[in-house]
Amino acid sequence: PMTTRNLMGQIDGTGNPKASEEDFDRRVFVPASPGKPQEWMEGGSYAVVRRIRMLLDDWEKLPVERQERVIGRRKADGAPLSGGTETTEMDLDKAGPDGRLVIPDNAHARISSPEENGGAAMLRRPFSYHDGITEDGTPDAGLLFICWQADPFRGFVPVQRKLDRGDALSPFLRHEASGVFAVPGGAAEGEYVGQRLLES
């Protein structure tokens, strides 16, 4: 299936862990922890949800070539600036003829990548929202960012901390609200969702 685009026009979701990868379950679903208070979360996942407004008017003023350096990927097809197609791995060490990194050191896709975060990974499944035009005439629109992981302290948290320190995308975003949700696993036949929590 094709990766979808967000309201900034970028292909968004390329770097997600894939269900076919051997460590997918370990990254996304909570493992068994017999006898621990959170035992009931086995097979569930933690969802971090953030309503992130996009400052779309400012973004659209940037030439496409600069928009691409903000992310580190091409806008048209999502390929890394280091070359290839959407599915080619980013070459984070590649330098251009001027000696500068082709994927800039503050590019969003670089600083959020598992390689730069001790392997931290999350499954992102965002939704775009557009709630009309605000009083100052700017769009009240953006991304309902949702990411799933076995442990937010080893997925979302380290990556967000790093983004806070210098993501080239930050000047074009305004974080408005957030929450973390514990989502129990699916129910087997004869069970109901959350049964192990409610009846423990």
Taking the C-alpha atoms of residue 91 and residue 45, their distance in angstroms, rounded to an integer, is 31
Q: Which residue has the tokens 């973004």?
A: 59
The contact mask relative to ligand HEM for 126-145 (x = CB under 6 A, - = no) is ----------------xx-x
Q: Does 163 bind ligand HEM (CB under 6 A)?
A: yes
Classify the phi-psi angles of 156: left when phi > 0, otherwise alpha if psi is within -120 to 50, otherwise beta.
alpha
The residue annotated as part of the active site, out of 12, 25, 98, 140, is 12
Nearer to ligand HEM, 40 or 122 (CB): 122
Using CB under 6 A as the binding rule, the residues of this chain from 11 to 70 that contact ligand HEM are 12-15, 50, 52, 54
Written as six digits, the tokens of 48 are 């971090």
Taking the C-alpha atoms of residue 2 and residue 26, their distance in angstroms, rounded to an integer, is 25
Q: Does 108 bind ligand HEM (CB under 6 A)?
A: yes
Alpha-carbon Rg for the chain, nearest whole angstrom, is 19
Q: Does 101 bind ligand HEM (CB under 6 A)?
A: no
Q: Does 170 bind ligand HEM (CB under 6 A)?
A: no
Q: Does 106 bind ligand HEM (CB under 6 A)?
A: no
3-state helix, strand, coil in the chain (%, to 5): 25, 25, 50
Query: Is 12 considered catalytic here?
Result: yes
List the beta bridge partners of residue 51: 144, 177
Using CB under 6 A as the binding rule, the residues of this chain from 60 to 99 that contact ligand HEM are 71, 73
- For the chain, give the longest Cα–Cα distance: 64
Residues that bind ligand HEM (CB under 6 A): 6, 8, 10, 12-15, 50, 52, 54, 71, 73, 108-109, 112-114, 122, 142-143, 145, 156, 159-160, 163, 173
Residues labelled catalytic: 12
